[in-house]
Structures are given as structure tokens and as C-alpha cells.
Structure 1
Amino acid sequence: MTHHDEATDERTGERTGEATAVRPLTLAWVHRHLEAGERIVGIEALHGGITAAMRRLTIGTRDGGTRDLVLRSFIDVEYAEEWLDREADALALLPGTGVTAPRLVAVDPTASHCEYPSLLMTHLAGRTVLGDEGVETRVPLLARQLVAIHALRPAERPRDYVALTTADTVVVPRDADVAVWSAAIDVIRKPTPSYDGRFLHRDFQPGNVLFDVPPPGLPPSGLPGLRITGVVDWAGASWGPADLDVAHCSATLALLHGPAWGLRFAEAYEEAGGVLAAAASERLYWMVRDALAASEEVRLVARAWRGAGRTELTTRAVEGRLDAYVTALLDALG
């Protein structure tokens, strides 16, 4: 345990010293979904999420080996039932599609059996990579993965996307160029452009993509063979414009690595065979919409990234990058 163990997790309200604890009703529910003769032999808190408590459960198998499951619990989250229903639906349709995702084991969206709305799924190998090193290699891989997701044609179309940000909810960063932000906000006041619908992940970004890289401190396996081992967090799966998923990943890359990488991702997506809106004004609408949505979550996102090791990404630093990115978008597409 680290010296942070007795702090309070601002996302879940739990003491972080209790982060590995799973409540009794939830434990009983998990046990009901294990194979005969299996038992939980280890529990580890997984960090980096913003809305859910995540735990890796090590399961002892009948033959003396182990396998891992992931328990995802929403604590005091308003839309937990809807998100878990949507994630369960997405995980159920992904096997056999070529897009690697966890396999659904069980879901309790209304907390009928558990203390909190929960989902149990298989654990994927690999880990998220949020550092600057190697970003030029990862961006094309991210782009190709998103093109593959957008190529999915589920038998049952998910619900249409929802964009909650409005011109009135945008949070202009301190020290930002007010004129630039005013112009950006005016962009999303315009009517929504028409689009060809695609299957969207809706939170596709480096924090939800796993790579086959060794943990920090071990020698790298070599970038030439780098590959994505899976995509997680499908709670936002929906139907909408490919531009929206691209815009979300672009904004995240801009905040993690600098504005140029936000602009680069859209190019990489097209190089990988993806199709974006034809008109620059329409591309600008989607790119700006997601950048402005990020303004409402800067503090939460920055805190999660610092917890994952990017200690230099203070709220002020991320606000500065967001301001520079919004400016760059208007310069490039405005």
C-alpha cells in the first residue's frame, strides 16, 4: 500500500485504503458467476477511471491455476443503469468482430444483487500508455483501431449519440483568449451537420486502449512489434458520426501530448481508411464540439492522469493545452 491509502477517493467517496475491498453482497454475486470449484484468491484496485471503481479479481481455478476478471462498480453515479446496460449490450455483440474487448460475464445494472450497479467481465492483457514517449508510433495504431470499430455493423443498432455540452455549459479556461473561445462557442451554436451514422465507442482515447508493452521499469519489448491488445469501457457505445469519435480521441491526445497531436490524429484516421465529413466547416463543428466538452472535465481528467503518473499535468497545464488546441482548430479549419 502507498502512503496515499487513507485519502478519500473523490470519484467514489470511498477511503482509498478500502479500494481493494469488495462488499459482501457483491462478493456473493461474483461467486455465483464463477465456475464450479473456483474461488477469489486476490483483489487489486485498478486506477485511472473517472466514473467507476475498477477491481481486478484473481480467480483460483480447479486445476490450480488462476485467471483474472474485472469488476466495474458505479458508486453514486446518476446514469449507472443506462451505462451498464449499454456496455453489456456492446460487449455481447463484439465477440467475433475482430475488435478485441472484454467478454461479458454478468451485469447487475440496478444493484438488485450487489451494493452498487456492477458489471463483471474478463480481463484483457496489456496496459494503457499515457506517456509522451512513442506517441508517434501509437497514433497510427489508435487510428486503425478506430476505423475497425466504425466498420462494425451490429444487427441491432445502439441508441443515437448524445452530446451534452451546449454553448452555455462551456467553461472558458483562465487566461484563455476570450475572443477565440467566443468564436469556438459560436461554432456549436450552428445546426448539427448531417452525417452518415457509424457504430461509435464514444470514449475512444488512450486511457481506454491497451497495448502489449511491459510495465514501467522493465526493458521495452521494441516498438516495431507494438500492438493493441484490446479496447475497454464501452458504456458510451452509440450510433453517430465518425467525426465525433475522432474528435474525442483528438482532444484527448492534444491534452496529453500537445495540440499538434490532436490535429495529427484526424490525418492518421483518414490515412487508415476512415472517412470524415467532406466540408471543413463540418469537421470544425465536431472537433470544436468535443474540445469544448473537455472544458467541463479538465479538473477530473487532470487528476486521473496525475494519478496514472503524468504528475506534470496540473489543471492549469491541461487548461493551457486546451486553450492552445481550440486556437489551433480554428486556425486549421475555421
Structure 2
Amino acid sequence: MGEAADGGPGWAATRAWAGENLAPGERIEGVRRLLGGWSSQMRRLDISGPQGGRSLVLRSFVKPFFVRHAPGLLTREADVLRLLAGTDVPAARCVAVDARGEHCDHPSLLMTLLPGEVRVDDAGAERRIGLLAGQLAGIHRVEVAAPARPRDYEPWTAPDRVRVPDATGRPLLWRRAVELIRREPPAYVPKFLHRDFHPGNVLFDGAAAEPRVSGVVDWVETSWGPADLDVAHCSTALALLHGVPAGMSFAGRYEAAGGRLAASGADHLYWRLLDALAYAPDAEKPAVPWRELGRTDLTPVVLTERLENYVENLLEQFDC
């Protein structure tokens, strides 16, 4: 993520709480706002102490909707970070959590800083997409005993909630797509899902020609459900960010990396459309942090066209 000026107003209590959760002798020396988030306010805290310097990340929910849901979201993320500490998934370590905002100005989670940065430019995207596929397959291989499993997945749209773009010249296309999710969800083998896996939540380091995944962030939506749904979500994001071919190719790359998807094309299409239709009508939501990171080319017109073309390609490939 990029960085902006310091911590800003309205976080004195949060800073004091963070300081209380440091090791003996440590203190906060600097604060930087991190850019690229949508649901949260993110800060990097630079720490000094007897053992040398280090940095932590502070996530705070400040928007009213997320403040209301913070107890569930932040508790879930803290639990998931603790679970992942025993795996090879490159996730942060939870330091402290105040999910209800009882000690902070806003509900907050303090965690370790992962190396790397979010990369959303088109240059080098081909290589990064392959790494995304491999990382997602690795996440789905995480085994979780029943008592520690996250909640079952929740769909982010439904047939009667889909909003068709006003200016579409292809209303029949949208009508067909909506009808295809008007069914019972297909049977699936449940997996451990990130549930919001996309290029904005994966960190890379290394040279542009030889990047490597250095971290996966934002585990507040972690769920138990079909691998196809995680693949669908990343595919939609890639289609919007890098173009329709990038989104269409991701499922194949995921399978090449060892992931397993629904055997039925119709079942796979259901999950792909369930995710894509949640972005209608204009796919503006994910573009806000992408523009902060430099992708000012992703205008509402571009995103709407890409979303519609992506839905069309899904129907051409899977609607048999």
C-alpha cells in the first residue's frame, strides 16, 4: 500500500492503546497513513525499543457500517491470523485487538507489518496473476479442525438484488445472467476461504520481472465454502483491473497450480456469476483504492464496459 501523512485527528485513544500493547521499553516513534484500503483506515506505526526498531500495522474501522459490524469482523480476523501463524500462508501476526472499540477511538486491530507492496499496474501483471493463483491454491489447502473453522460463506448478492447498468445495450445478457443464479447453490467440497482474495489484498516484493508474494492481508471476511467462490472473486477483480482476458484465464491458472474446481461447468458458472453480479451496475467499489494506487485510467465507463464484457464471456464459455 502507498503512504500518506501521519495519524491525523481522532485517534489519541487508539495510539495510547497501541502503546500499551508494545513490548517493555518500546515506544511509537512515527505514524504513517497507508493508502489503498476501502473498508478501513490503515496506519503504519514505527516502533523503537531496546531490541531495535520494527513496524506494526493498525487497522481501524471508522465508517459507520463497519463500526457496527466490527466485533464480528475484527474478532474473526484476529482468530484467523492466530490460526495462520502455524501455516506457510504469509499472513501478519496478531498483536492485539479491540473489536468493540472499548479502549480505542474506533474498533481496531494491531498486527505485524508484512514486507512488500500492493501492485496493480498492468506492467508485470501476467507474472503476478500466476503467483496469485498459486497462493490461492495454497490457502485452500489449509486444514482447519471443525471447532476452529470460520463461518460459512455468505453470498454478496441475490437475483432480486442485482442492479443492471442503466445504459446497457444488452439487457437480455443481464437477464440471462441473473436467471442462472436463480437456483439452489451447487453442492461443493468446503474449503478454507480468504473470501476477499484479489490483487489489492496481496503484497509483492522483488523486482518487477521476478516478483514474489510476500503477504496476504485483509482476513475479515474469511469463510468456509466453495473454492470456486474465491476463484470467482479474484477473477472478477482481474477482469476489472487488467481486462477481461485476465479474469477469464485465472481459473485455469488456479487449477494448474493444484487447485480443484467444480466438475460441472454450470456449477462453476453459478459461482462466477454470483460474484460478478455483485459488482453491478458500475463496479465502482473496488476502483476507489486502485485509483489511489495510480490506476486513474479505471473510470466508471471503463469498469462498466469491462464488467459487461466479462459477464458475456462467462456465458459464452460456460452457459451450454
Structure 1 length-normalised TM: 0.90
Q: Does 1:250 align with 2:250?
A: no
Which whole-Å CA distance do the structure 1 matches of 2:128 and 2:108 have between them?
31
Q: Which residue, 156, 159, 163 being the options, matches 1:167?
A: 159
How far is 1:295 from its partner?
Answer: 1.8
Which whole-Å CA distance do the structure 1 matches of 2:69 and 2:217 have between them?
18
Q: In structure 1, what is the equivalent of residue 107 of structure 2?
A: 117
Residues 47 and 56, structure 2, Cα contact 8 Å, conserved in 1: yes
Residues 14 and 104, structure 2, Cα contact 8 Å, conserved in 1: yes
Cα displacement string for residues 12-42 of structure 1 (whole angstroms, at most 9, x for unaligned residues): xxxx977544612111110110011111111
Q: Does 1:43 align with 2:3?
A: no
Which whole-Å CA distance do the structure 2 matches of 1:66 and 1:142 have between them?
31
Residues 5 and 32, structure 2, Cα contact 8 Å, conserved in 1: no
- CA-based RMSD: 1.5
Residues 165 and 304, structure 2, Cα contact 8 Å, conserved in 1: yes
Q: In structure 2, what is the equivalent of residue 13 of structure 1?
A: none
C-alpha spacing 1:311/1:192, structure 2 compared with 1 (3 Å): same
Which whole-Å CA distance do the structure 1 matches of 2:286 and 2:130 have between them?
23
Q: How does 1:52-201 map to 2 (within 5 A)?
A: 52-63=40-51, 65-75=52-62, 76=64, 77=66, 78-155=68-145, 156-176=148-168, 177-201=170-194
Which whole-Å CA distance do the structure 1 matches of 2:7 and 2:178 have between them?
40
Q: In structure 2, what is the equivalent of residue 8 of structure 1?
A: none
Which whole-Å CA distance do the structure 2 matches of 1:22 and 1:32 have between them?
18
Cα displacement string for residues 208-248 of structure 1 (whole angstroms, at most 9, x for unaligned residues): 000004xxxxxxx252x321001000001110000000000
Q: Which residue, 213, 220, 226 being the options, matches 1:241?
A: 226
Q: Does 1:202 align with 2:195?
A: yes
Residue identity matched to 2:139: I
C-alpha spacing 1:297/1:165, structure 2 compared with 1 (3 Å): farther
Secondary structure in structure 2 of the residue aligned to 1:79:
helix
How far is 1:128 from its partner?
Answer: 0.7
Residues 282 and 300, structure 2, Cα contact 8 Å, conserved in 1: no
Residues 29 and 113, structure 1, Cα contact 8 Å, conserved in 2: yes
Residue identity matched to 2:149: R
Which whole-Å CA distance do the structure 2 matches of 1:122 and 1:243 have between them?
30
Secondary structure in structure 2 of the residue aligned to 1:299:
coil
C-alpha spacing 1:29/1:205, structure 2 compared with 1 (3 Å): same
Secondary structure in structure 2 of the residue aligned to 1:69:
strand
Which whole-Å CA distance do the structure 1 matches of 2:194 and 2:38 have between them?
17
Which whole-Å CA distance do the structure 1 matches of 2:10 and 2:84 have between them?
28
C-alpha spacing 1:309/1:152, structure 2 compared with 1 (3 Å): same
How far is 1:298 from its partner?
Answer: 2.0
Cα displacement string for residues 177-228 of structure 1 (whole angstroms, at most 9, x for unaligned residues): 1110110011111111000000000000000000004xxxxxxx252x3210
Query: Which structure 2 segments of 5+ residues have no match?
Result: none
Residues 20 and 44, structure 1, Cα contact 8 Å, conserved in 2: no
C-alpha spacing 1:38/1:297, structure 2 compared with 1 (3 Å): farther
C-alpha spacing 1:85/1:45, structure 2 compared with 1 (3 Å): same
Secondary structure in structure 2 of the residue aligned to 1:239:
strand
Q: How does 1:4-23 map to 2 (within 5 A)?
A: 20-21=8-9, 23=11
C-alpha spacing 1:324/1:285, structure 2 compared with 1 (3 Å): same
Of 24-33 and 248-257, the range deviating more from structure 2? 24-33
Q: How does 1:318-329 map to 2 (within 5 A)?
A: 318-329=303-314
Of 298-307 and 202-211, the range deviating more from structure 2? 298-307
Residues 73 and 117, structure 1, Cα contact 8 Å, conserved in 2: yes
How far is 1:297 from its partner?
Answer: 7.2
Residue identity matched to 1:30: A
